[in-house]
Amino acid sequence: MAGGKGDKPAKSDKSAAGAKSSKGRKKETGLGLTNTKDGNFGEWYSEVVTKGEMIEYYEISGCYILRPWTMTIWEIMQNFFDPEIKKMKIKTCYFPLFVSNNVLQKEKDHIEGFAPEVAWVTRSGDSDLEVPIAIRPTSETVMYPYFSKWIRGHRDLPLKLNQWCNVVRWEFSNPTPFIRSREFLWQEGHTAFATKEEADTEVLEILELYRRLYEEYLAVPVVKGKKSEMEKFAGGLYTTSVEAFIPNTGRGVQGATSHCLGQNFAKMFDINFEDEKGEKAMVWQNSWAYSTRTIGVMVMVHGDDKGLVLPPKVSAVQVIVIHVPYKDADVKEIMNACTSTVKTLCDLGIRAEADLRENYPPGWKYSHWEMKGVPLRIEIGPKDFANNQVRAVRRDNGEKIDIPMADLADKVKGMLDTIQQSMFDVAKQKRDACIQVTKTWDEFIEALGQKKLILAPWCDEEEVEKEVKTKTKGETGAAKTLCSPFEQPELPEGTLCFASGKPAKKWTYWGRSY
Ligand code: 87F
C-alpha cells in the first residue's frame, strides 16, 4: 500500500472508511457514511446522493443540482426510451415553459386539486406583469389548444408527440432529492387517436417500456397495474402505472404513469375531427410520463452502507481500475498495465476508467469508488502484474476474483452482465419477501405495521378506500391502494373484501407510499 506522504485527502469528516496506512491504523479519510440504511433511512439517503456525487443541495428548498454522475444515468435511460418511442412514430416537440392563467384554468376539474402547487411569475424587473403567468406543472393545457388547431380530419390522426423538459410543482411536504423535488426532469407524451382501441393499445405499450426501464436498466422490480378511481389522474379515464417498493421504509412508490385520458380533454379543448364517413368525432387521448424520480428509486433500492450501488447498464463508469503500488515495485509498469487494461475494456465498449492519482492511497480510492457505486473495481498490484492477472471486486456483493490478463475481455463483460442480473434478482427477492397477502382487517393492520407490501382482495369501492385511508392515518402517513396488478392471482368465488366484508372484485396492492 502507498501510505506515507501526501496522501491525506483534502476533507476530513466524522467517519473514516477504508484506508489503512502501512502502520495499520485507520486514517481519517473523510469518506464513508455516518448513517446506515437500516438505522436512519432518510439521513442515509441524503448522504448517499450527495457523497455519491449525484446531487448537490441548492439554496432553494426542494431544488437540487443534478451532477454529471446523475445526468449520465438520465441520458442512458433517454437513449433507450427515445428511440423506442420513435419506433412507435411518436415525434419530438417542445412547447413553452409558461402558461397563461386563462389556458391553465380551462380544464377546471383537472387543475383544482393541483392549484396550490402551481408557481407563478408576477414581475419582470421592477414592474408587475400585466397578467401573471404560470410555470408548467404538466403540459395538457399548454398543448391541447394546438391539438385542436392541428387536428381537422382523420388523416391528421394519430397525432403523437413527446417532449423532454422540466416541470415545476411547488410541493410543500418534505422535499426529497429525485423523489419529490419542486423542479424535475421528465418526458411527457401526449397522443390523440381516432379510436379508443388505438389509445388503449398505446397505454400498455408505453407501460411496458417503463417496466423495461426499471427492470432492465435500473434493475428494480416493478408491478404493472391499474390505479384505483381515487388514485388515478382525475382528468383522465383510467391510469396505469409501474409501482416499485422500498423494503427499508415499507413504502410503495409510483414509478411512472401511462394514462388513457378518454375524451375529457377533447371535450374541453374542442379536439374534433371529420371521420371517414364525413361525420364529426372526438379524439381519444393518452398522456404518459417518467421523471428523474426513477433515479431516486434506484438509489433507494440498491444503495448500501458503503454508498451507491449502480447497475452496470446505467453507470457512467462500469469498471474502475486502480493501481496498487508497493514499496520497491516499479510503479510505472503497474500504471501502464492499468492504462492498457482500460484501453482493452474501452475498445470492447465497456465504460472503464483508471484512477492513477498518487496523492490518495488505494484504500481511499476503493472507498471513493464504492461510494459512487461503480459496479466493478479492478486492482493491479506487483503480484498481479508478475502473474499476468488482475483482481476484480464486485460492488454489489464484494466478491473477489482473479482474472488472467488473457481472459480480461470475456470475463469482465460476463461479470457486468452477471452483476446486472444479480442486482435485479436480489432486489426482487427482497421485494417479494415483503409481499403479504392479507384477507382480514386485523391481518392488514398487522402487515402494515411490519412495513409489508400488502396484497388484499378488495371490493373496489371508493368509499372503502377512503375509510381505509382515514383509519390508518398516523405519523407515517395513511395506507392507500398502489395498483391492481394486471397479473391477478386467482380470486376464488366467495372471497370477501378485507376491509368491507363485501364480495371482493380484485386483488389490489396496498401500502404507505411516497
Ligand atoms: C400539479 C399542478 C398542476 C399532477 C399537477 O401524469 C397540475 C398537475 O395535472 C397535474 N400534478 N398533474 C397530473 C399530471 C397528469 C399527466 N400529465 C402528463 C401525467 C403524465 C404526463
pLDDT digits (tens, 9 = 90+) for 210-265: 999 999 999 999 999 999 999 999 999 999 999 999 999 999 999 999 999 999 99
What is d(CA 63, CA 176) in angstroms, rounded to the nearest whole number?
A: 9
Measured by CA distance, the residue closest to atom 14 of ligand 1 is 138
pLDDT score for 232:
97
What is d(CA 122, CA 131) in angstroms, rounded to the nearest whole number?
A: 7
What is d(CA 341, CA 389) in angstroms, rounded to the nearest whole number?
A: 10
Q: Is the pLDDT of residue 21 over 90?
A: no
Question: CA quadruple 36, 64, 374, 82: dihedral positive or negative?
Answer: positive
Task: Ligand 1, residue 188: give the atom nearest the CA.
Answer: 21
Non-local CB neighbours of 475 within 8 Å, separated by 6+ positions: none
* pLDDT bracket for residue 4 (50, 70, 90): very low
pLDDT score for 207:
99
CA–centroid distance, 196 to ligand 1, in Å, is 21
Question: CA quadruple 490, 495, 501, 504: dihedral positive or negative?
Answer: positive
Measured by CA distance, the residue closest to atom 5 of ligand 1 is 114
CA–centroid distance, 153 to ligand 1, in Å, is 28
Task: Ligand 1, residue 110: give the atom nearest the CA.
Answer: 9
Task: Ligand 1, residue 288: give the atom nearest the CA.
Answer: 20
pLDDT score for 329:
77
Q: Are strands 238-246 and 223-226 parallel, antiparallel or unpaired?
A: antiparallel
Least confident span in 14-28, 72-86, 353-367, 393-407: 14-28
Measured by CA distance, the residue closest to atom 2 of ligand 1 is 114
CA–centroid distance, 506 to ligand 1, in Å, is 27
Place of cell 392471482: 489
Q: Which residues line ligand 1 (CB under 6 A)?
A: 110-111, 114, 117-118, 137-138, 140, 169, 188, 233, 257, 259, 287-289
Of 138, 160, 292, the residue with max ligand 1 atoms within 8 A of its CB, to mutate for a pocket test, comes to 138
Q: Is the pLDDT of residue 318 over 90?
A: yes
Task: Ligand 1, residue 118: give the atom nearest the CA.
Answer: 2
CA–centroid distance, 86 to ligand 1, in Å, is 23
Q: How far is CA 366 from each of CA 19, 49, 307, 363, 377, rounded to the nearest angstrom?
A: 8, 18, 12, 5, 8
Non-local CB neighbours of 383 within 8 Å, separated by 6+ positions: none
CA–centroid distance, 55 to ligand 1, in Å, is 25
Model confidence, pTM: 0.93
Of 232, 233, 288, the residue with max ligand 1 atoms within 8 A of its CB, to mutate for a pocket test, comes to 233
Mean pLDDT throughout 409-433?
98
* pLDDT bracket for residue 360 (50, 70, 90): very high
CA–centroid distance, 297 to ligand 1, in Å, is 20
Query: Contact 331/325 with Cβ under 8 angstroms?
Result: yes
CA–centroid distance, 291 to ligand 1, in Å, is 12
C-alpha cell read off for 328: 520497491
Report helix, strand or coil for 79.
helix
Non-local CB neighbours of 454 within 8 Å, separated by 6+ positions: 435, 436, 437, 438, 444, 447, 448, 479, 509, 510, 511
CA–centroid distance, 135 to ligand 1, in Å, is 13
Nearest-10 crossing angle of helices 293-302, 41-51: 110
Mean pLDDT throughout 489-511?
98
pLDDT score for 30:
61
